[in-house]
Structure 1
Amino acid sequence: MAKTAWIDLTTGKIELQPTPEEDLLKFLGSRGLAAKVLYDHVGPAVQPFDPENLLIFSTGPLTGTSWPSAARYTVTAKSPATGAYGYANSSGFFGPELRKAGYDLIVFRGRAARPVILHIEDDHLELLPAGDLWGQTTEVTEKTLRERYPGSRVAAIGPAGENLVRIAGVINDYARAAARTGMGAVMGSKNLKALVVKGSHRVETPPEFKEVVRRVTAAVRNHPESQMYSQWGTVCLIDSKNMSGDMPSKNHRWGQFPLGKEINAAAVARYTVKTQGCYACPIRCSRITEVPDGPFKTPLNEGPEYETTNALGSNLWNGSIELVIYANKLCNELGLDTISTGLVIAFAMEAHERGLLDDPRYSLAWGDPETIIGLIKDIAYRRGTGDLLADGVKAASARLGRGSEFFAMEVKGVELPRQEGRVLKAFGLGHATSNRGADHLYALPTIDVAGMTDVAAKVLPECGPELMEVTSEKFKAHMVRFTEACNALADAAGVCKFAFTETYAILPADLAEGLRALGIPISDEEIMRIGQRIVNLERMYNVRHGFNRKDDYLPPRSLQEPLDVYVNPEEIEKIPPGKAQLSRRGLTINLDIMLDEYYALGGWTGDGIPTAARLKELGLEELVKDLPAADPF
């Protein structure tokens, strides 16, 4: 029987309940199911660090099965970064272990009087003191708990979460991060240090399901992009992105990095000891790296992947892959989101360059190792300039003022991921409209940039060839509407996007077939409606908090500062654009045109709010009462 555990950290009461079957059918699981629980229990009056905020760990119906890369779990809460909807997603082995223990949801409310952990072993749950672990890194915490409870898996916060740093994440399997939107800070606000889980029940599946799994696993494994990620990891993207202008650098001042070859896949390979994959993964994109000696000596550690390499490398004008590897491990141990950490440090460096910020201990110069390492630590412990940055770029800019909002690279309080929206227009639209703030994985509109013409013909037949031109705004709203629903399904089902929406080796109909084989009655048509339902539910959570079109923005730099793309990235800041050979000149993004089309395609008003008719169509009639009064019925 599917079940939900409700944990009241204030009273210590633990209650097990059946997960409502109706909610599972409507929202599938994990991200979708957690969004429904958050909507029902955490309203606008509750602040992110209030005891009344919920912290929800959730798995999907495929998590822990043999479906390719069925390893994902979600952490959901009202976000301290956005002030509204927030969630983070992670992989590894923690999620499958939680599912093997029998849980769809672990829901925390209240606040413990002293630090605690939750120990789960099947139906046995208990809150235990964690005073000896408070203040410890995630690595020490996990190592201690796995020795204490052999065979268990751990998800923990580090000092950043304890100190309510709003860019803090939850770390599992030592280096897997549910990083975005500040979920680690919400966990810290509840004095919850870690979850320790051991499950003894296999997720049983029928023969029909195993037949589908064999077919889709082969499709994923044999896809050329999967094989590329398997061989090189996601840093294989760096060389092509650097040539196209989609390699954000120096706080998005440039779309290319002169030292790209110093931090690319070949550079990471020199420090790679072995590769590994998450639970049930046929791709195995992860690198285990080691820096054996020198100032950035780093023991065996998972990563870095592309987003981290960009955020802590080119984004900071840092061309040392050894420093990137070291900084990545430091962020994991302290429990920091590497993307947001790189962006807030870049913000500080640019603010210093413009004469707006100084630090008595660090130069704040671009690429300076002491500044990078020092600020990572100071952010986690809220010291000096680190305290200014610990609440994220939007809050730091509001405190600093003096025009700094121009280069505050965030949306809804969440720092931009590592794509350049002036080049990849669909990603720009996806960053702006993501309900959890700037996010590459919310929409993940890769169909054009990956050249998936065959996929486009199947899933977006109404769009012409201009869909495949990455720098054209035409039809990008169609793509984002399709891909955001697919990615909601991936998160709700509990599967990795690299085995689904990164390549579309598996299509939504394949996912529906697999779920039907598990006994879940979902048609090919209904599967997409579930994805759309989740997106609209999340949007309505934000609408209830006063969000509308004004919150679907991009930073002023992205909208107002044209971007040049060099034929040779090594010439940047050496040869002026007027004298260098450019492949593209003066790229901008017309966000308003795409927003109008995006809203219309989704059945939303011109202000970005779902209509009553659209909510009813999706079976969300109960949310109509929360629409602004001006919405026509």
Structure 2
Amino acid sequence: MALPGYAGSILYVDLTQGKIKKESLDVELAKTYIGGAGVNNKLACEISPEVNPLSTANAIIIGTGPFNGTIIPGSSEVMILYKSPLNGAFTYSCGGGRFAPFLKSSGYDHVVITGRSDRPVYLKIEDDDIQLHDASDLWGKDSFETTDILRQRYEPCSVIPISQSGENLVSISVTHIDKGGTVGSGGLAAVMGSKNLKAVVAVMGTKGITVAHPRRLRKIVDEVLSRVNSYHKRPEMMMGGAMTMTSGWVPEGVIARNSSVLIPYPQDVKEIQAQIYELHKRSRKKIACITCPMADKDRIDIAERGMTIYDTAIMAERAIMTTSPAFGHSDSASPLDRYAEALSYFDLVNRYGIDRLYSFHGLADFVITLFEDGIITKEDTGMELNRELSTILKLVKITALREGFGDVLADGAVATARRIGRNAEKHLQNVVKGQFVTLDPRLSALGPMEFAQLTYPGRCFGVAGAMGAPTYSPGWPLPELIRQAQRCGVPEEAMGRIFTQDSFNPGRLAKHAEDFYCLFNMLGLCHRLYISRFYSVDILAELYSAVTGIEVSPADLKVASERAWNLWKLLNYRAGFDRKDDEPPEIWFHPLKGVDRGYPLMDYFHTTALTKEDVERLLDDYYEERGWDKRNGIPTLGKLRQLGLDSFAGKESVGDG
């Protein structure tokens, strides 16, 4: 019998042999690694670190947590681990929708997919009926079309599809769960495409899960929902979605030309923003992941343009501009035109399955800048490269289809620079682990989110450094940062190392933010700001105890999170990643050029300019806070022993420090 909170089984699918195998979820495995990202990491230890990401031996590991399938608000996240074709790392993707609870309703906590089918197939999971169906009729269709067709066949169901970019093994491909939550930055769709796997469909099953203490769980959930319902921004979010939360976050301009200049917004940007926000509210139909009380995902219907698009969360600053942060803004277009053009771009990248935020924005700006500077020409690209919308849309299409110059772009920034040659790599700036920095600290200041872009294993992802609103918008008073740190489980003994009377250490704080973030990925809980703000490590411990019947303290959960994070770090070290991959981009130490002033790298409070040596010391502090070796940025043998991971120690452990 399964533990309360767990479905109780792991499903193994060998696409080469067409074999399906079901194994019981080991109770001790679940207790030690919780679920989701934690158990995924342990299962990934069976993958060779040398495996080619697009080979049959690479595995796609889909994981749920003990909160999935319960009444806990925001318990919709599914975690997917695979070796990335973008950079060779063991990277994580997470997304919402209905996939995680539907998978558990059929009796499975995790799915491990290996091999390669000799023809296009999709995997359908429905209770004990696990089938590989022919997908020849779906091959060549975009992810939204594929989802619509499979829904017609199996609703109620949840779908993780791929589009043309995945079929063409594009390394900067992503996909959408249920036409909503993005998942797969780092090339998940390409890994699926390499296996001839068009989609995974989780049909709502009949098995469900049990909860150890239903009344106790209901009491805690009611308290959380009471706080959600009294949140002052919630009524407006029901109308405006994510744009409500981000409407005040619009920066001074757009970073462009290989992260070297700041192109200012028009002087009337606030008025434009307000008009677009009203358009957005009028055109929006809210979409919520299962159990989500905030409904931040969007369906937008613009009758004036005959448009209907779906997006995971339309942010305010994106809709102000013609297309995206890499390409500046329209000088004269009306708010409706700006909004419609932005949506047309979002819709195209979503349907083709291109990672617009962490790859394509910066990549398009990179090659356009090379073209503007004469380093590449029309002879290289086959087309004029400029910052007009039509050019950007064409680049999206040819990248997804690997047509012409798009084949050069398809494997990401580093591969593009190498294929171009002519010292193009010297012009590639603001890239960490093959992805573009999205939170440039010269514009925002160096807080824990900006810092976490360096240390996140396998990719560049700053959200892992989040601890509430003060980390999303630097400059908040220090007492509020301290309050958020306490909420997120920073132990009292660490507070003195992190905080001084008038400042704090973002490197040390980022470690604890990552621990808190990792818990959400282990439990199956959404970590977006407007969900995670209602949880503390104390509440998470109470919820886990109520769901599973395993009594844990906040400190117990924090240790489990550290265990999962350290094991993940080891997976990536074995794949070739160490301190050299956590180094800050050199461009950070050159002021961003504005119209009438420069923007140097500053501390969180904008009081002190930071040098490369300062950031290197913060990296040292981060590693020390984690108990890792400062020389190479990996766990010490002492840390592994402390976490019960000494069986994983090998040449990568560095002594008893």
TM-score of the two chains, using structure 2 as the length reference: 0.86
Give the aligned residue type for 1:282: P
Question: Following the alignment from structure 1 to structure 2, what is the Cα–Cα distance between the partners of residues 405 and 265?
Answer: 40
Give the 3 Å change call, closer, same or farther, for CA 86–417 of structure 1 in structure 2: same
The worse-fitting range, judged by mean Cα deviation, of 225-234 and 46-55 is 225-234
Deviation at 1:474, TM superposition (A): 4.0
Deviation at 1:231, TM superposition (A): 4.8
Match of 1:423 in 2: 444
**Is residue 528 of structure 2 the alignment partner of residue 528 of structure 1?**
no
Aligned residue among 244, 259, 264 for 1:252: 259
Match of 2:434 in 1: 413
Question: Following the alignment from structure 2 to structure 1, what is the Cα–Cα distance between the partners of residues 485 and 348?
Answer: 41
**Is residue 537 of structure 2 the alignment partner of residue 508 of structure 1?**
yes
Give the 3 Å change call, closer, same or farther, for CA 303–507 of structure 1 in structure 2: closer
Give the 3 Å change call, closer, same or farther, for CA 491–411 of structure 1 in structure 2: same
Give the aligned residue type for 1:155: I
User: Does the aligned pair in 2 maintain the 1:563–1:585 contact within 8 Å?
Assistant: no
Match of 2:161 in 1: 156
Deviation at 1:121, TM superposition (A): 0.9
Match of 2:621 in 1: 597
The worse-fitting range, judged by mean Cα deviation, of 52-61 and 338-347 is 338-347
User: Does the aligned pair in 2 maintain the 1:219–1:506 contact within 8 Å?
Assistant: no
**Is residue 410 of structure 2 the alignment partner of residue 380 of structure 1?**
no
Give the aligned residue type for 2:299: I
User: Does the aligned pair in 1 maintain the 2:638–2:655 contact within 8 Å?
Assistant: no
Give the aligned residue type for 2:528: F
Match of 1:65 in 2: 70
Match of 1:301 in 2: 310
Question: Following the alignment from structure 1 to structure 2, what is the Cα–Cα distance between the partners of residues 540 and 56?
Answer: 17
User: Does the aligned pair in 2 maintain the 1:487–1:501 contact within 8 Å?
Assistant: no
Give the aligned residue type for 1:432: L
Report SS of the residue matched to 1:437.
coil
Match of 1:391 in 2: 411
Unaligned runs of 5+ in 2: 3-7, 331-337
User: Does the aligned pair in 2 maintain the 1:155–1:173 contact within 8 Å?
Assistant: yes
Question: Following the alignment from structure 2 to structure 1, what is the Cα–Cα distance between the partners of residues 577 and 592?
Answer: 30
Question: Following the alignment from structure 1 to structure 2, what is the Cα–Cα distance between the partners of residues 501 and 391?
Answer: 34
Give the aligned residue type for 1:557: I
Match of 1:568 in 2: none
Match of 1:364 in 2: 385
Match of 1:323 in 2: 341
Give the aligned residue type for 1:140: E
Question: Following the alignment from structure 2 to structure 1, what is the Cα–Cα distance between the partners of residues 457 and 317?
Answer: 22
Deviation at 1:433, TM superposition (A): 0.4
Match of 1:47 in 2: 52
The worse-fitting range, judged by mean Cα deviation, of 447-456 and 582-591 is 582-591
Unaligned runs of 5+ in 1: 565-571
Question: Following the alignment from structure 1 to structure 2, what is the Cα–Cα distance between the partners of residues 531 and 357?
Answer: 47
Question: Following the alignment from structure 1 to structure 2, what is the Cα–Cα distance between the partners of residues 455 and 186?
Answer: 38
Give the 3 Å change call, closer, same or farther, for CA 110–588 of structure 1 in structure 2: same
Match of 2:637 in 1: 612
Deviation at 1:200, TM superposition (A): 2.6
Aligned ranges 1:19-38 → 2 under 5 Å: 19-38=25-44
Q: Percent of counterpart pairs with the same letter? A: 27
Question: Following the alignment from structure 1 to structure 2, what is the Cα–Cα distance between the partners of residues 466 and 180?
Answer: 31
Question: Following the alignment from structure 1 to structure 2, what is the Cα–Cα distance between the partners of residues 123 and 241?
Answer: 48
Question: Following the alignment from structure 1 to structure 2, what is the Cα–Cα distance between the partners of residues 551 and 306?
Answer: 30
User: Does the aligned pair in 2 maintain the 1:138–1:334 contact within 8 Å?
Assistant: yes
Aligned ranges 1:437-476 → 2 under 5 Å: 437-446=459-468, 447-449=470-472, 451=476, 452-453=480-481, 454-456=483-485, 459-460=489-490, 463=495, 474-476=504-506
Question: Following the alignment from structure 1 to structure 2, what is the Cα–Cα distance between the partners of residues 263 and 605?
Answer: 50
Deviation at 1:265, TM superposition (A): 6.6
Report SS of the residue matched to 2:136.
coil
Match of 2:334 in 1: none
User: Does the aligned pair in 1 maintain the 2:294–2:531 contact within 8 Å?
Assistant: no
Match of 1:478 in 2: 508
Deviation at 1:56, TM superposition (A): 1.2
Give the aligned residue type for 2:618: M
Deviation at 1:602, TM superposition (A): 0.5
Question: Following the alignment from structure 1 to structure 2, what is the Cα–Cα distance between the partners of residues 50 and 36?
Answer: 21
Match of 1:131 in 2: 136
Report SS of the residue matched to 1:210.
helix
User: Does the aligned pair in 2 maintain the 1:160–1:381 contact within 8 Å?
Assistant: yes
Report SS of the residue matched to 2:517.
helix
The worse-fitting range, judged by mean Cα deviation, of 129-138 and 223-232 is 223-232
Aligned residue among 376, 388, 400 for 2:420: 400
User: Does the aligned pair in 2 maintain the 1:473–1:594 contact within 8 Å?
Assistant: no
Deviation at 1:427, TM superposition (A): 2.3
- Deviation per CA, 1:368-391: give whole Å up to 9, x if none: 111110011111001122111111
Report SS of the residue matched to 2:395.
helix
User: Does the aligned pair in 1 maintain the 2:309–2:347 contact within 8 Å?
Assistant: no
Question: Following the alignment from structure 1 to structure 2, what is the Cα–Cα distance between the partners of residues 374 and 468?
Answer: 51
Question: Following the alignment from structure 1 to structure 2, what is the Cα–Cα distance between the partners of residues 36 and 308?
Answer: 39
Deviation at 1:3, TM superposition (A): 0.6
- Deviation per CA, 1:475-511: give whole Å up to 9, x if none: 11222111101111101111111368752x3111101
**Is residue 562 of structure 2 the alignment partner of residue 540 of structure 1?**
no
**Is residue 642 of structure 2 the alignment partner of residue 622 of structure 1?**
no
Aligned residue among 273, 297, 302 for 1:286: 297
Deviation at 1:266, TM superposition (A): 4.8
User: Does the aligned pair in 2 maintain the 1:393–1:409 contact within 8 Å?
Assistant: no
User: Does the aligned pair in 2 maintain the 1:241–1:247 contact within 8 Å?
Assistant: no
User: Does the aligned pair in 1 maintain the 2:159–2:200 contact within 8 Å?
Assistant: yes
Report SS of the residue matched to 2:521.
helix
Give the 3 Å change call, closer, same or farther, for CA 242–268 of structure 1 in structure 2: closer
Aligned residue among 195, 203, 215 for 1:207: 215
Question: Following the alignment from structure 1 to structure 2, what is the Cα–Cα distance between the partners of residues 49 and 585?
Answer: 47
Give the 3 Å change call, closer, same or farther, for CA 274–418 of structure 1 in structure 2: farther
Report SS of the residue matched to 2:56.
coil
Deviation at 1:257, TM superposition (A): 4.3
Deviation at 1:546, TM superposition (A): 2.6
Question: Following the alignment from structure 1 to structure 2, what is the Cα–Cα distance between the partners of residues 553 and 403?
Answer: 20
Give the 3 Å change call, closer, same or farther, for CA 58–303 of structure 1 in structure 2: closer
Match of 1:551 in 2: 581
Give the 3 Å change call, closer, same or farther, for CA 302–542 of structure 1 in structure 2: closer
- Deviation per CA, 1:308-365: give whole Å up to 9, x if none: 9389522221343322211111122112222122222122222222222334554322
Give the 3 Å change call, closer, same or farther, for CA 344–76 of structure 1 in structure 2: same
Give the 3 Å change call, closer, same or farther, for CA 328–66 of structure 1 in structure 2: same
Deviation at 1:305, TM superposition (A): 2.5
Deviation at 1:255, TM superposition (A): 5.8
User: Does the aligned pair in 2 maintain the 1:483–1:501 contact within 8 Å?
Assistant: no
Count of matched residue pairs: 612
Aligned residue among 334, 339, 351 for 2:352: 334
Give the aligned residue type for 1:28: I
Question: Following the alignment from structure 2 to structure 1, what is the Cα–Cα distance between the partners of residues 289 and 591?
Answer: 40
Give the 3 Å change call, closer, same or farther, for CA 586–103 of structure 1 in structure 2: same
Match of 2:89 in 1: 84
Question: Following the alignment from structure 2 to structure 1, what is the Cα–Cα distance between the partners of residues 21 and 56?
Answer: 18
User: Does the aligned pair in 2 maintain the 1:170–1:179 contact within 8 Å?
Assistant: yes
